[in-house]
A = this chain, B = another copy of it.
Amino acid sequence: MAEGISLEELQLAARNHGMPLEALRWDVTPIGLHYLLTHYDIPDVDPTSWRLEIDGLVERPLSLSLDELRARPSVEAAVTMECAGNGRARVEPHVVSQPWLLEAVGTAQWRGTPVAGLLEEARIEDGAAEVLFTGFDRGVEGGEEQAYARSLPLDEAFAGDAILAYEVNGVPLPPQHGFPLRLLVPGWYGVSNVKWLSEIHVQEDRYLGKYQARWYRTLKGETVNGEVKWKETAISTLHLKSFIARVSRDGNRHKVFGIVLNDGTPIKSVEVRVDDGPWQPATLDPATTANKYSWKQFNYTWNGATPGEHTLVSRVTDVTGKVQPTTEELEVKKTFLEDNSQHPRKVMIS
């Protein structure tokens, strides 16, 4: 075995997988090509005896079968999911976890019933602040057995577009995507989208489980008057990011193709730079910008490429003026997850 890579990392890399980037040709990623990350063993859930429990600070606790959930109002949405650790393989200091480069993404057509509707039906009591979603997937970490769980602030659970999904790409969820039911929070990193749902618990306390209070957190330092101030936050919505996925020859020009990922905030512009040249505007594909929560595609025509190695890079700006940072800007911030920095791509022109 190659030195330096631990068995643990290798086992993660063999279990989990990214989306081969040529699969960007499909607006909706076929099942089996969408990125997949499972923290514990995939649980075996019997859909006939399974029920979703909605309890805690609610006037009317609910216990619902899959048929009862399917009978409720449903919505369907194309949603791009990205792992918060996408890009982790390049981040220093090195974190021992699934070593993603760029490919921990996928877009699927999910169908389910809105979370907000079920919470209304259960009638939230005063004092509630968080909604905790717990899955059937369990494992031992640090000597302690725990179920996978993540919470959403109550206002996000109500105002957001979160759904409980039972179908993907027109078929019942396959086991690896959370059969029979999973949470889907459009615009949030993959970690929020609890699979194999068993319970929704409305509570006053802040949830402090490991996947929320200990891992998937970002420590950022900002230098103010020469002093670094640190702030730690839990992973939530997708950070603004773009990358070049493909460069192909087209006659004596080259076509540069890439995508934008973010939390659904409309995009203002994407630019591409070749070597040390000026930033040049790329063209956003309007068919993809129309869909709030799915990736946006961009194209750039590169004229006059000379033989030899070149470095291409893209950067995206959203309508609020936020700009995708450079690697140097991110390093100042000591971000250990969510590497959304500009991603230079080397190409060899013959």
**Contact surface of A with B, Cβ cutoff 8 Å:** 1-7, 9-11, 13-18, 20, 22-23, 25-26, 30-34, 36, 38, 41-42, 44, 89-90, 94, 99-101, 103-104, 174-177
Which residues of B lie under 8 Å from residue A17 when comparing CB positions? 14-17, 36
Give the 7 A-B CB pairs with smallest separation, nearest first: A4-B4, A17-B17, A3-B4, A13-B13, A32-B32, A5-B5, A14-B18
Check B23 against A42 for contact (C-beta < 8 Å): yes
Given A2-B4, A17-B17, A41-B22, does the pair A11, B101 have CB atoms closer than 8 Å? Answer: yes
Taking a contact as CB atoms under 8 Å apart, the answer to whether A38 and B13 are in contact is: no
Contacts of A7 in B (CB 8 A): 101
Nearest chain B residue, comparing its CB with the CB of A14? B18
Query: Is A31's CB under 8 angstroms from B31's CB?
Result: yes
**Does more than half of chain A's interface fall in helix, strand or loop, or is it mixed?**
loop
Closest to A103 in B: B14
Chain B residues with CB under 8 Å of A33's CB are: 42, 174-176
A31 to B33, CA, bound (A): 10
Q: Which residue of B lies closest to A9 (CB)?
A: B2
| Min C-beta distance of A148 to chain B, whole Å | 15
Residues on B with beta carbons closer than 8 Å to the beta carbon of A41? 20, 22
Quick one: closest B residue to A98, CB to CB?
B14
Inside 8 A of A30's CB, which chain B residues have their CB?
174-176
State which of B4, B5, B18, B26 has its C-beta within 8 Å of the C-beta of A15. Answer: B18
Q: For A14, list chain B residues within 8 Å (CB).
A: 13, 17-18, 99-101, 103-104
- Tell me which residues across on chain B come within 8 A of A16, comparing CB atoms: 17
Q: Are B1 and A90 in contact (CB under 8 A)?
A: yes
Q: Separation in Å of the A247 CB from the closest CB of chain B?
A: 14
Smallest CB gap from A104: residue in B: B14
Other-chain contact of A20, B2, B15, B177 (Cβ < 8 Å) = B15
Give 30 A-B contacts (CB < 8 Å), ordered by A residue: A1-B90, A2-B4, A2-B5, A2-B6, A2-B99, A3-B3, A3-B4, A4-B4, A4-B5, A5-B5, A7-B101, A10-B99, A11-B101, A13-B14, A13-B99, A14-B99, A14-B101, A14-B103, A15-B18, A15-B20, A20-B38, A22-B41, A22-B42, A23-B175, A30-B174, A31-B32, A32-B34, A32-B174, A32-B177, A33-B42
